[in-house]
């Protein structure tokens, strides 16, 4: 049963703490993406990776970091430098680096207080 998993579904952290969001896919996709969703705004790209051990900044990378050590995994760390980290975070993957068809995970809702 192929797909993308994100865990946990809900995450709560205190301000000033780093937090890592998990994203795993078993679709054998090369490319993976992290998006942030805020009320009233479209999804915004944080980071993306087209191949293992390589990744590029998206439109709102400040305050975030990623790694891509394995094809299946693309964890996102929200650092204390992110000014407004409370949001819904979505991970996606696609067969190649082109965005013609992206598959999305169920998302993680992060609340920082």
Cβ atoms within 10 Å of 74's Cβ, excluding its own: 28
Q: C-beta of 54: minimal distance to other proteins in Å?
A: 12
Q: Give yes or no for a contact between 27 and 93, defined as CB atoms under 8 angstroms apart.
A: yes
Q: Is there binding between residue 48 and other proteins (CB under 8 A)? A: yes
Interface pick for other proteins out of 17, 53, 56, 111 (rule CB under 8 A): 56
Q: How many residues bind other proteins (CB under 8 A)?
A: 25
From 16-24, 35-43, 62-70, 74-82, span contacting other proteins (CB under 8 A): 35-43
The strand ranges marked E within the chain are 4-7, 10-13, 19-25, 31-37, 44-51, 54-57, 64-66, 76-78, 87-94, 102-104, 108-112
From 19-27, 60-68, 72-80, 87-95, span contacting other proteins (CB under 8 A): 87-95
């Amino acid at each position: 049963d192929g797909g993308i998993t994100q865990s946990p579904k809900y995450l709560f952290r205190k301000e000033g703490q780093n937090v890592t969001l998990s994203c795993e896919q078993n679709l054998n996709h090369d490319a993976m993406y992290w998006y942030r969703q805020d009320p009233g705004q479209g999804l915004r790209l944080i980071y993306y990776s087209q191949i293992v051990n390589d990744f590029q900044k998206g439109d709102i990378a400040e305050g975030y970091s990623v790694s891509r050590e394995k094809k299946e995994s693309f964890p996102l760390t929200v650092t204390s430098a992110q000014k407004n980290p409370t949001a819904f975070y979505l991970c996606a993957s696609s067969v190649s680096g082109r965005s013609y068809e992206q598959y999305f995970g169920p998302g993680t809702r992060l609340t920082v207080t």
